[in-house]
Chain A
Amino acid sequence: MIGYHLLRRTIGFAFILLGLSVVIFTVARVVPGDPARMALGPLATNEQVAQLQEEMGFSKPAVVQYFDYIGGVLRGNLGKSLLTSRAVADDIAQALPATLELVLFTLFLIAVLAVPLGVLAARRHNSWIDNASRLVSLLGVVTPGFVFAILLQLLVSHFHFFPLTGRLSTDIRFTPDITHLALVDSLLKGRFDAFADALSHIFLPALALSAAGIGQIMRITRSSMLDVARRDHVETLRSFGVPDYVITLKYMLRLAAVAPLTILGLEFASLIGNAFIVEMVFAWPGIASYGLRAILSKDINAVMAVVLTSGLFFVVANLIVDLLVGLIDPRLRARG
């Protein structure tokens, strides 16, 4: 049953997150450099450093520190950031929505661009459309996201179609404070000017971020559609004169969607990773700059929090994909 399956997956994912936290914690401890010294700077006295070490619990054995930390996380306390001297949870809550919005919008772009192109390439396989799409997807897959980011900026800076940096223009005076996603909140509040502004800001970074995914998903959709096209049931419908567009867009596509959907879930991880770099290029006020500064300064609590939240979103995305695949395929619902 799909219910048991999802429960099993959830428990499995919880263990993955736990393992991830152990790895990151260990790595952060092993890397040389004293975080307290780095936080306080070269001018601080040894006493001040020792005092901060005591305060952050750095003087305790590593295992104790780890369990203290995990205990805190389970109670909703992510600790204090050395860098900003604020609660890490607050920092994350401030930076995360922007990143989430970017990644979700990228997924949306991938889905609406790659799937139709893949279907088209399959319908016209071995035609010039197919060959062109093959070339484009290859380019998308082999070119790193930040190269696209820079190329897009160079290109657009000549034409001024889109803003090059940031999330919202300052003169719009809009704060996304419902879901914290600017695109959603602006619509909820009926601020269409803010929506247009947010859209124009997010478009370029999302496009840069989506290139690799579009390439992959397009190819997978194509081969999946071609595979389904050979099945007997397609011919059954055809022999009864069900129109081609119904066969393709309804019957074939739903069956063929399982593979690209699964890959899209896995893609989520690399999207978050790539978002770090794309955010830097477009000065996107997301989690990237926070995460990078945290890593460079060995701000353990902040690094842990960034990694664990990314992991959590990856896990949730895959659970959603599992659920969707189950909704598509009744055999999986029955088997689990």
Chain B
Amino acid sequence: MAAPHPLLEIESLNIGFASYGQTTQVLHDVHLKVEAGQRAAVIGESGSGKSVTMKAVIGTLPHPAARVLGGSIRFDGQELLSLSRRERERLKGTDISIVHQDPLTSFNPVFTIGEHLDDVLKFADRRLGTSSDARSRRTRIEATLRQAQLKEPERVLRSYPFQLSGGMRQRVLIAMALMHRPKLLIADEPGTALDVTTQDEILRLLNQLVSEEQLTLLMVTHNLAVVRQTSDYVYVMQSGRIVEHGPVREIFTAPRMPYTQRLLEAIPPLYGPKVQHRQAHSETVVITANDVVKRFEAPRRFLEPAKAPVLAVRNASLSICKGDVFGIAGESGSGKSTIARMIVGLMPLSGGTIEIDGRSIADWRKDPAFRRRIQIVYQNPASSLNPRRTVAETLAVPLAFAGAVPKDKRAERIRELLALVELPANFASRYPHQLSGGQKQRVAIARALAVDPEIVVLDEPTSSLDVSVQKTVIDLLLGLRDRLGLTYLFISHDLSLMRNFCNRIAVMFRGEICEQGPTDTVFDDPQHPYTRALIASIPVLTDAEEQAKPQVTLEERRAVLASTIQ
């Protein structure tokens, strides 16, 4: 590097959060160095301190809760922590910019996109001492939006945040960060909140802009595959410490620290020798769905013309055998959760039939006995468990209503259930807030198993968990399937996970099942263009996997993803 000093250099940074008079240290001696022109990444799971580190750099640590306990952050040779407030503000958006994570919540819903961008630009100009008129700002904003591949900048600027798609809002966030050609661009989990095909678009755009504009990138993410795609150098964070750092290739092929190794192993491979192949257990069909349709009628309101109904599921047919781990893959709004809900009998069909063990569930679903046949585990245990009920109280509900277990037997059954999901028996008296995310999801699984069901529907059971926790929950589910002879219907958007967990898979696209078959067949030889585009979008860990992915031409992508690509 030609520069005498790194662009960003963090040394021995210690930060604590004060609450109720106590200070909890969240960053411990964090060291980090980003050279000009480098593409670096900080990776860590939730609570690792990666966001706090970024906020310290950008200068948005919560005041007065956050305390810098020591250390230094030097930007372009200048110590940031001793700068005056005014000097610090001057760097924001012009020298250091950030691409925020969640494109929906990052905009104020009652202001247009244009208003946001104009204020950001106006005050940045003012801090730099150059005044600008509204017209010239408008021209610059539109040019930057075009650079972020937004084709109709005028329309985007006029729109309110809710009128744009997630992908478009994310592009606006990128444009916002680029308006002043920042020396350092921080990207905080860009696209993570979006569908995988959109995320892929966003990462490509970011890569392209970084190389075109010669930007220095600091990527913050929890996804190792994203690191491989966007960075050359990586810092691994765990519980507020940098545990390992090095060039991406080195860390990925020969991680030295056990934590990094665990993290890498926890990521399910998409292709290659490490993929786990699940076999079908039998050919006895337990669930059949024939031409299932679900129409959501918009509520008819007085005096208003009727709105067109939404077809959430159109003519979906599938059959699931005993012992299957049957996956339904799809992006948000594809109708996968709606199908799951209809199969569990929580929602009536608008057309078609669903049979379980050859019996139609149309009337049966109201019978308590039906509940003993099929149960569901929801996505987010933080909201599916009642925060005011102990684990034992939560588990007692199905025992009392659907399971018909007499009162004096319940305590014993609760102990059994906790043992089944590998939780200590004394957890029975705990409240959800005393449990970790993974433990909560185990309780939710135990609740589903309380009535000894034969079929369990898993609606994204691990998507709210960190990847290392996800692995333990998946292992638990596989063990339970073998021990109890369960059949799983697994709903997910995470294709890498499904590749290793399911023996059959159906891909949903805009309410239709566009492809289904044995998992290996679908992944090795995807037929439908959407399936191909979907698989091709998944970030992977190795070049070998990258090559094994189906090749998708731009025209093919455009054909199926017309709504997300500008």
Contacts and interface: CB of A to CB of B under 8 A. Distances in A.
Interface of A: 1, 4, 7-8, 11, 231-243, 246, 250-251, 254-255, 328-331, 334, 336
B162 A331 contact: yes
A1, A236, A334: most-surrounded residue (chain B CB, <10 A): A236
B106 A232 contact: yes
Given A236-B106, A330-B163, 4 more contacts: A232-B106, A242-B123, A246-B123, A331-B160
13 contacts: A4-B301, A11-B303, A232-B100, A232-B106, A233-B105, A235-B60, A236-B173, A239-B60, A242-B120, A250-B119, A255-B109, A331-B109, A334-B163
A240 B92 contact: yes
Given A246-B123, A255-B109, A239 B58 contact: yes
Interface in B173-187: 173, 176
A241 B124 contact: yes
A236 B123 CA distance: 14
A195 B419 CA distance: 81
A232, A243, A254: most-surrounded residue (chain B CB, <10 A): A232
A328 B110 contact: yes
B268 interface: no
B156 to A, nearest CB: 15
A240 B100 CA distance: 11
A7 B106 contact: no
A263 B302 CA distance: 26
Contact of B108 (A11, A238, A241, A251): A251
A240 B105 contact: no
B405 to A, nearest CB: 43
Contacts of B302: 8, 11
A241 B127 contact: yes
A255 B110 contact: yes
B111 interface: yes
A243 B107 CA distance: 16
B304 A239 contact: no
Given A4-B304, A233-B105, A243 B60 contact: no
A329 B58 contact: no
A330 B158 CA distance: 12
Contacts of B116: 237
A232 B164 CA distance: 18
A1 B160 contact: no
A1 B98 contact: no
A239 B110 contact: no
Contact of B109 (A236, A250, A329): A329
A233 B108 contact: yes
Contacts of A334: 162-163
Main secondary structure on A side of the interface with B: helix
Contact of B100 (A236, A242, A328): A236
Nearest to B98: A239
Nearest to B121: A240
Contacts of A8: 301-303
Nearest to A335: B162
Given A241-B93, A246-B119, A236 B124 contact: no
A239 B57 CA distance: 10
Nearest to A235: B60
A250 B120 CA distance: 13
A238 B96 CA distance: 13
B172 to A, nearest CB: 11
A7 B305 CA distance: 13
B160 A330 contact: yes
B161 to A, nearest CB: 8
B98 to A, nearest CB: 5
B105 to A, nearest CB: 4
Given A4-B304, A231-B105, A330-B162, A241 B110 contact: no
Closest 7 interchain pairs by CB? A241-B92, A240-B93, A232-B105, A330-B160, A233-B108, A240-B120, A236-B106
A331 B119 CA distance: 22
A231 B176 CA distance: 18
A237 B120 contact: yes
A7 B116 CA distance: 33
Contacts of B124: 240-241
B134 to A, nearest CB: 15
Contacts of B100: 232, 235-236, 239
A83 B165 CA distance: 66
Contact of A240 (B110, B111, B160, B176): B176
A233, A329, A334, A336: most-surrounded residue (chain B CB, <10 A): A233
A234, A254, A330: most-surrounded residue (chain B CB, <10 A): A330
A334 B164 CA distance: 13
B97 interface: yes
B89 interface: yes
B90 interface: yes
B102 interface: yes
Nearest to A255: B110
A34 B301 CA distance: 47
Contacts of B90: 241
Contacts of A336: 301, 304
Nearest to B58: A239
Nearest to A246: B119
Nearest to A328: B110
A336 B119 CA distance: 29
B218 to A, nearest CB: 14
B102 A7 contact: no
B554 to A, nearest CB: 32
Interface string B98-139: 101010011111110000100110011001000000000000
Nearest to B100: A236
B51 to A, nearest CB: 11
Contact of B102 (A1, A232, A329): A232
Nearest to B90: A241
Contacts of B120: 237, 240, 242
Given A239-B100, A246-B123, A330-B162, A233 B93 contact: no
B160 A241 contact: no
A262 to B, nearest CB: 15
A231 to B, nearest CB: 6
A230 to B, nearest CB: 10
A254 B115 CA distance: 13
Contacts of A250: 119
B90, B94, B162: most-surrounded residue (chain A CB, <10 A): B162
Contacts of B160: 330-331
Contact of A254 (B60, B111, B123): B111
B546 to A, nearest CB: 33
Contacts of A237: 108, 116, 119-120
B106 A329 contact: no
A28 B123 CA distance: 64
A232 B109 CA distance: 11
A240 B172 CA distance: 14
B359 to A, nearest CB: 41
A89 B102 CA distance: 59
A247 B44 CA distance: 31
A88 B100 CA distance: 64
Contact of B111 (A11, A239, A251): A251
A208 to B, nearest CB: 35
A237 B116 CA distance: 8
Contact of A236 (B94, B107, B110, B162): B107
Contacts of B94: 241
Given A8-B301, A8-B303, A241 B109 contact: no
